[in-house]
Chains A and B, each alone.
Chain A
């Protein structure tokens, strides 16, 4: 009897969040799915992302961009994260807070940071103009977007790598070294395998975020052909609600699946924003 009362109490406590969640997330998503099938293509709209040449091309460039972001971010954060975790020196804490400080910048602000670096009045343009006589401006292209996503992903990836590096057993590395392994072999055979779960989890978050992010691309150029921008254009300029719905549903499914797999590896806080 007491157990039953406790259960109904717990249900009552879950109810407000549950009702909110159903009314404003689950039901709208179901509706989005139905709308996606109401266009002139019908439910074939869900296949359009692979059958339509233009959509498929933007899908491919989105995935390539996300993969590039992931690889570059993991390399940068892997080196810097393990270094900061392993060596204590004066200023270490300052470096860590500098590297994690952009953690909560929204995508639009990241886009603006890219413009400050590589835009028409950017620092890189000024430096290259002084050095070579030509102004290098790449903010408003795929390269600029890649830079923005790497900028955005470094803080959270470094945090994950540092947390994982803390748990590595230094004895394993000492053993490898005492057996004559070169520093490279230690990195390849001991450190990287030890950090593999963290790399997988952080990499999946990088990837999913880069696939779904919108703010940075929006700030840089509406002409960049990535999936979130295509969805936005379908929705606003073409007023093609059905296509926008179908594409965003597929996009949501992709990021959700990638992150669900990541959580299997890592648990902990898996967040995508921007």
Chain B
């Protein structure tokens, strides 16, 4: 089919938006691997900056991974039962609860962090440990876990499945582990990816919650941008991309998967 001029115009526009989004990422990746960015690529490629980041900021990388995994564990334990309860009882009250639970996403991280500080800032050991950051991250990511699992639970006929199992004598624990969990697997996977990705990149809250001994990766990034040369900031950003891009790709893949049908855990 012959394309109209309007098509090409729109394509050009869309392509330029892509360029706007992708070019700085590529530039920054290049800068992190170039000997001298000002001089350009002719100065040669090097791993020097990446190595400097690794030796100077390794701890922030491991801390961020640790916090995001701990955050995942907590959101799974708190979120799945809550989502199940919200799915079982759909009324004004539970909808209000859901609305409340989503608040930490709507309220800026800055405000949440200040609130945590005025409440618990005096609790010495807690304030200076990484757990203080974890609490903030759980608040911010829990809604994503709950919503993701809830969406799946509402899409399946949970009631019939559970009644079937109950009529065969399955108790609650049995129903939960053999019916509910296998059926909301897709929601759990999507929610988990979201939680880990968000926790890994969280800055607004973490900047206020961290101490010099509990720096996370984004906090280290802000440090590096403010005080170190562009090449090191870029190399650090590159490390962050390498960590986050697989998560983003997995997230896109999960989102594109066709809707699942009923499942039992015997496959």
Complex CA–CA separation, A105 to B226 (angstroms): 18
Complex CA–CA separation, A103 to B109 (angstroms): 18
Stretch binding the partner chain, chosen from B43-51, B75-83, B181-189, B258-266: B75-83
Q: Is the CB of B110 within 8 A of A228?
A: yes
A13 interface residue per 8 A CB criterion: yes
Give the total number of A-B pairs whose CB atoms are below 8 A apart: 236
Q: Is the CB of B102 within 8 A of A270?
A: yes
B123 interface residue per 8 A CB criterion: no
B221 interface residue per 8 A CB criterion: yes
Closest to B204 in A: A214
Complex CA–CA separation, A108 to B28 (angstroms): 13
Q: Is the CB of B139 within 8 A of A24?
A: yes
Complex CA–CA separation, A232 to B207 (angstroms): 10
Q: Is the CB of A13 within 8 A of B10?
A: no
Smallest CB separation, A103 vs chain B (Å)? 7
Interface size, chain B (Cβ < 8 Å) = 84
Q: Is the CB of B81 within 8 A of A103?
A: no
Q: Mark A238-251, 1 if CB is under 8 A from B, else 0.
A: 00010011001101
Complex CA–CA separation, A115 to B228 (angstroms): 14
Complex CA–CA separation, A155 to B255 (angstroms): 15
Q: Is the CB of A104 within 8 A of B225?
A: no
Partner of B225, one of A97, A111, A256, A271: A111
Partner of B248, one of A103, A123, A252: A103
Residues of A contacting B21 with CB < 8 Å?
Answer: 98-99, 101-102, 151, 154-155
Partner of B82, one of A13, A113, A214, A228: A13
Complex CA–CA separation, A270 to B17 (angstroms): 23
Q: Mark B132-145, 1 if CB is under 8 A from A, else 0.
A: 00010011101010
Interface residues on A, range: 35 or more
Complex CA–CA separation, A228 to B18 (angstroms): 29
Residues of B contacting A241 with CB < 8 Å?
Answer: 118
Tell me the residues in window 179-235 of chain B with beta carbons closer than 8 Å to chain A beta carbons: 197-198, 201-204, 207-208, 218, 221-222, 225-226, 230, 233-234
B108 interface residue per 8 A CB criterion: yes
Partner of A32, one of B109, B111, B198: B111
Residues of A contacting B20 with CB < 8 Å?
Answer: 151
Q: Is the CB of A28 within 8 A of B116?
A: yes
Partner of B222, one of A18, A108, A154: A108
Q: Is the CB of A269 within 8 A of B147?
A: yes
Residues of B contacting A121 with CB < 8 Å?
Answer: 37-38, 230
Closest to B223 in A: A108
Q: Is the CB of A116 within 8 A of B110?
A: no
Complex CA–CA separation, A222 to B88 (angstroms): 48
Q: Is the CB of B225 within 8 A of A108?
A: yes
B89 interface residue per 8 A CB criterion: yes
* Contact flag A16-B78 (CB < 8 Å), given A83-B14, A98-B21, A109-B240: yes
Question: Knowing that A104-B198, A116-B24 are A-B contacts, what are 7 other residue pairs whose CB atoms are under 8 Å apart, sorted by A's residue number?
Answer: A97-B252, A98-B22, A116-B28, A151-B21, A218-B207, A228-B110, A251-B110
